[in-house]
Amino acid sequence: MEGIVIRGLGGLYTVLSQGETFDCRGRGGLKRNRNILYVGDRVEFENGAIEEILPRRNVLPRPPVANLDRLGIVIARSDPLPNLYTVDKLAVISEHCGVKPFLVFNKSDLDDPLNVSSVYSSLGYSCFPVCARTGEGVEELRSYLMGKITAFAGLSGVGKSTLLNAIAPDLVRETGEISRKLQRGKHTTRAVELFPFGDGFLADTPGFSELEFGPCGLIDRSLLAGYFPEFEPYLTECFFRDCAHGREKDCAVRRAVEEGKIPRSRYENYLRMYEEIGPLRPWETEK
Ligand SMILES: Nc1nc2c(ncn2[C@@H]2O[C@H](COP(=O)(O)OP(=O)(O)OP(=O)(O)O)[C@@H](O)[C@H]2O)c(=O)[nH]1
Ligand SMILES: [Mg+2]
Ligand SMILES: [Zn+2]
């Protein structure tokens, strides 16, 4: 039978197939071939054993999920305050994996002290200001998600689970809010989980703190600038063809930053990622 992995915990997977769920384990053969199973994987399974992973369209290492159409980067205007470095990193990783990122500015009922929406609305990413608590703006977002496979990612507490509840009330997820009422302390999503939504799926993912978020994986740093869509018009204008857009002479990207055409925070985060990635050592490029 064929199905899609919607949950995985401790080697036990839930596979959805024709409206029914099945508890499965990965067959030994999968492990031997170092095939890690991801939520979102389409698989062949039989008698509670996953035999085969069907070819993936893409796989996002963080949050770990396969076969996405889009990644929704969720930012709260405050509580917690946005961390633009993690936002930009998520966007870069998503672009690198061939998943289209978009932005959700949640908690529109709160102040926006860092004025983050102004940074991102000019970049060419779709942006959705919403209030998951009141449902404001959720309808526009819902139509954008129809028929697609979308995961929500972002810092812990930005409201990803609350947002999922607002989009699809019949799925009701536990959120920080609900469990506070039950006096069980703050609930936080622990694992990636996929929910059927119309013809598509929505994935809730555990939030991360800035510290947990490692470097940009094995992205070749010469590709990095290409993952900043707003740099695109300037990339061919630099004096050096292999310009890294740092201190090089006549860098068109740096000029665009100085002229206010590229947000300074995006440029600074580009430089920071560039440094962080470092040149790839030979053994890191081996498949
Ligand atoms: N003021 C306000 N609070 C919100 C809004 N949306 C969510 N919250 C609150 O933010 C807190 C965290 O919400 P969650 O949905 O659990 O956040 P999360 O992103 O799923 O967190 P993790 O599962 O830890 O990653 C809860 O107390 C929510 O009630 C909103 O639009 N406005
Ligand atoms: Mg959550
Ligand atoms: Zn340059």
**Phi/psi of residue 72, each to 5°?**
-90, 115
Question: Which ligand has the nearest atom to the CA of 262?
Answer: 3
The highest-confidence range among 28-37, 56-65, 210-219, 278-287, by mean pLDDT, is 56-65
C-alpha 15, offset from chain centre: 22
Q: Is the CB of 258 under 6 A from ligand 1?
A: no
Q: What distance in angstroms lies between residue 280's CA and the mean position of ligand 3's atoms? A: 20
- Looking at ligand 1, which residue's alpha carbon is closest to its atom 12? 157
Report the pLDDT averaged over residues 226-243.
96
Question: Tokens 């839930």 sit at which residue?
Answer: 14
Question: Tokens 């401790």 sit at which residue?
Answer: 10
Report the pLDDT averaged over residues 94-104.
94
Structure tokens at 117: 């929406």
At 190-229, the pLDDT tens digits run 889 999 999 999 999 998 776 555 555 668 888 999 999 9
Task: Compute the distance between CA of residue 35 and CA of residue 30 in angstroms, rounded to an integer.
Answer: 5
Q: Is the CB of 159 under 6 A from ligand 1?
A: yes
Q: Is the CB of 165 under 6 A from ligand 1?
A: no
In the chain the domains, ranked by start, together with CATH numbers, are 2-56 (2.40.50.140), 60-212 (3.40.50.300), 221-285 (1.10.40.50)
Which ligand 1 atom sits closest to the C-alpha of 187? 16
pLDDT at 169 over 70: yes
- Distances in Å between the Cα of 284 and the Cα atoms of 96, 97, 122, 243, 280 are 17, 17, 35, 23, 6
pLDDT at 283 over 90: no
Question: Which ligand has the nearest atom to the CA of 106?
Answer: 1
Task: DSSP letter for 133, please.
Answer: T
Task: Compute the distance between CA of residue 146 and CA of residue 67 in angstroms, rounded to an integer.
Answer: 16
Q: Is the CB of 129 under 6 A from ligand 1?
A: no
What pLDDT, on a 0 to 100 scale, did the predictor assign at position 31? 67
The vertex-93 CA angle with 34 and 25, nearest 5°, equals 30
- Is the overall model pTM greater than 0.85, yes or no? yes
CB of 276 within 8 A of CB of 267?
no
Question: Tokens 């857009």 sit at which residue?
Answer: 245
**Phi/psi of residue 204, each to 5°?**
-95, 140
- Looking at ligand 1, which residue's alpha carbon is closest to its atom 3? 107
Mean pLDDT, the chain, rounded, equals 88
Structure tokens at 112: 């926006």
Other C-beta atoms closer than 10 Å to the C-beta of 46 total 12
Which ligand 1 atom sits closest to the C-alpha of 174? 16
Q: Which of 253, 153, 155 is nearest to 164 (CA)?
A: 153
Q: Which of 87, 111, 175, 193 is the pocket-test mutation for ligand 1 (most atoms within 8 Å of CB)?
A: 175
Q: What distance in angstroms lies between residue 47's CA and the mean position of ligand 2's atoms? A: 32
What pLDDT, on a 0 to 100 scale, did the predictor assign at position 267? 98
Mark out the alpha helices in 121-227 (DSSP H runs): 138-145, 160-167, 176-181, 221-224
Q: Is the CB of 175 under 6 A from ligand 1?
A: yes
Which ligand 1 atom sits closest to the C-alpha of 108? 31
Q: Is the CB of 80 under 6 A from ligand 1?
A: no
Structure tokens at 277: 């990635």
Q: What distance in angstroms lies between residue 250's CA and the mean position of ligand 3's atoms? A: 7
Q: Is the CB of 177 under 6 A from ligand 1?
A: yes
Task: Compute the distance between CA of residue 21 and CA of residue 3 in angstroms, rounded to an integer.
Answer: 9
- Looking at ligand 1, which residue's alpha carbon is closest to its atom 10? 159
Q: Is the CB of 157 under 6 A from ligand 1?
A: yes
DSSP track, 2-19: EEEEEEEETTEEEEEETT
At 35-57, the pLDDT tens digits run 789 999 999 999 999 999 999 99
Task: Compute the distance between CA of residue 111 and CA of residue 109 in angstroms, rounded to an integer.
Answer: 7
